Amino acid sequence: MFESLSEKFSSIFKKITGRGILSDANIQEALKEVRLALLEADVNYKVVKNVVEEIRQRAVGKEVLQSLTPGQQLIKIVNEELTRLMGDVKQGLQLLGRTPHALMLVGLQGSGKTTTAAKLAVHLQKQGRHPYLVPADIYRPAAIEQLIKLAKQINVPFYPTNPSQKPEDICMDSLSKAGKEGSDVLIIDTAGRLHIDEAMMDELVRIRKKINPAEILLVADAMTGQDAVNVAKHFNETLDISGVILSKMEGDARGGAALSIKAVTEKPIKFIGVGEKIDSLEPFYPDRMASQILGMGDVLSLIEKAQAELDESEALKLQKKLRKNEFDLEDFKGQLQQIKKIGSFEQILGMLPGIGQLKKLKQMNHDDKELVKVEAIINSMTTQERRSYKIINGSRRRRIALGSGTTVQDVNRLLKNFAQTKKMMERFSKKGYSGMGALFG
């Protein structure tokens, strides 16, 4: 439903020929789609109402830019508005005042506090800080053991909590202990609790009073539904949180909870958790989140990654070759290697707009092994064969298949694909070169 938001827009706006201004009437239908899109993304219904109204007000009367279609223009506005609501710029931790600073993680059961605590420690270590982990969850079976195990894994000192201690005492004691051991940031992993459990919420208030933390971060599951507003509101009203960490972002949830939480708390989302590995904590970029909620994929991340990984001189060389129509299998292999540097197939597909939502594609085995196979096949060719693939006859194919541990069918398929690609490129270069620059630049 979602992947087609931009498609739906373009079909709605098809009726409007030429450029002009966006009128109330012609954006009404498009806004219905925006509303549905946001609801499907788990954005709270009341928040959706407000957001759609703000978008309408901003969009009506806007002139459609020369370079854009009306559909694109509206998407731009929606995207900008969501980004603005999400907080515009990324925000890090505010660790001010006397050391050791205390950082408190709070949230519902199973939102990912303990794992996040360890990830934050790694993050702080990288910044030259000396973190100290404090297991303050005396209720959940083996929660203390879990954090201590993680602490040992990442080589971070921890408070040896005894489950018979009171959480506020644990925190007080660890504050002085951490200082003595030369640590400057305490990360306190509190027990998961329901926001409506007053006794348990009181416990957090007591901890807060005793240690006066620099940050109180609400850890929330990115998959949370409509209830996100209730949870965030209660935690914020009780504790006056300083920010939010959104966990489990690596799944296929659209993460509308981010928008809901931001709207009810007006507190910044500081980090997102993107995996179970200990270094999978990333800063939160509002613009990227906006695109994801809209189902437009994380194109920015992809572009950034591509820019960081792709070798510019390589690209230039390739351009020249393409122009002269000299693209051969060796170049093809080079391209594959460049793609591999950006990330696994799964990662790249996830970042592309629309594709992430195509369930079929998702369950398909877009296996990186396929790339390995292709590379092996090319590696088993002679230099001559790589330069001019047309000389590869039946017996050469058999030899290549044997050498690469593949089948003749695999080799055939690769050669066929390559021939098609080359044909397409020829057509491009005949047509002139305008389109290709963007592809490889």
Partner 1 sequence: MIKFFSKEDKNGGVLERLRHGLSKTRSSISGRLDRLFLGKKEITGDLLEEVEEILFTSDIGVVTTQELINLLQDKVARKELKDPEKLKAVLREYMLSFLRIDSPAQSFPLNGQPLVIMVVGVNGVGKTTSIGKIASRYKSEGKSVMLVAADTFRAAAVEQLIIWGDRAGAEVIKQSTGSDPSAVVFDGLTAAVSRVFDVVIIDTAGRLHTKTNLMQELQKINRVIGQKIQGAPHEIWLVLDATTGQNSISQAEVFNNILGLTGIILTKLDGTAKGGIVVGISHQLGIPIRYIGIGEKIDDLRPFDPDDFVKAIFE
Candidates 120-128, 144-152, 298-306, 324-332; binding stretch for partner 1 (CB under 8 A): 144-152
Candidates 18-26, 253-261, 322-330, 372-380; binding stretch for partner 1 (CB under 8 A): 253-261
Structure tokens at 93: 């931790």
Q: In angstroms, give the least distance from the CB of 320 to partner 1.
A: 39
Q: How far apart are CA 177 and CA 381, in angstroms?
A: 64
Backbone angles phi, psi at 101, to 5 degrees: -80, 150
What is the sign of the dihedral through the CA atoms of 401, 407, 408 and 412?
negative
Pairing of strands 269-273, 281-283: antiparallel
The yes or no reply on residue 346 touching partner 1 (CB under 8 A) is yes
Q: Which is nearer to partner 1, 373 or 422 (CB)?
A: 373
Contact 48, 35 (CB under 8 A): yes
Contact 135, 147 (CB under 8 A): yes
Q: In angstroms, give the least distance from the CB of 236 to partner 1.
A: 15
Candidates 71-79, 126-134, 143-151, 326-334; binding stretch for partner 1 (CB under 8 A): 143-151
Q: How far apart are CA 258 and CA 239, in angstroms?
A: 19
Q: Which is nearer to partner 1, 247 or 380 (CB)?
A: 247
The yes or no reply on residue 145 touching partner 1 (CB under 8 A) is yes
Q: Which is nearer to partner 1, 170 or 392 (CB)?
A: 170
Q: Which is nearer to partner 1, 152 or 387 (CB)?
A: 152
Total residues in contact with partner 1, by rule CB under 8 A = 55
Q: In angstroms, give the least distance from the CB of 276 to partner 1.
A: 7
Q: In angstroms, give the least distance from the CB of 275 to partner 1.
A: 9
Structure tokens at 41: 């993304």
**Footprint of partner 1 on residues 16-55 (CB under 8 A)?**
36, 39-42, 44-45
Which residue of 14, 140, 277, 398 would you call a contact of partner 1, by CB under 8 A?
A: 140
Contact 71, 6 (CB under 8 A): yes
The yes or no reply on residue 245 touching partner 1 (CB under 8 A) is no
Contact 421, 333 (CB under 8 A): no
Binding mask 177-216 for partner 1 (x = CB under 8 A): -----------------xxxxxxx----------------
Structure tokens at 36: 């549905």
Q: How far apart are CA 91 and CA 22, in angstroms?
A: 34
Binding mask 356-385 for partner 1 (x = CB under 8 A): ---x--xx-x--------------------
Q: In angstroms, give the least distance from the CB of 241 to partner 1.
A: 18
Neighbour order of strands in the sheet with 243-247:
131-136, 185-190, 101-106, 215-221, 243-247, 269-273, 281-283
What is the sign of the dihedral through the CA atoms of 322, 326, 332 and 337?
negative
Q: How far apart are CA 135 and CA 160, in angstroms?
A: 8
The yes or no reply on residue 108 touching partner 1 (CB under 8 A) is yes
Q: Which is nearer to partner 1, 234 or 399 (CB)?
A: 234
Q: How far apart are the first and last CA of the chain?
A: 33
Binding site residues, partner 1, CB under 8 A = 1, 36, 39-42, 44-45, 108-112, 139-143, 145-150, 153, 194-200, 221, 223-228, 230-231, 248, 250-254, 256-257, 276, 346, 359, 362-363, 365
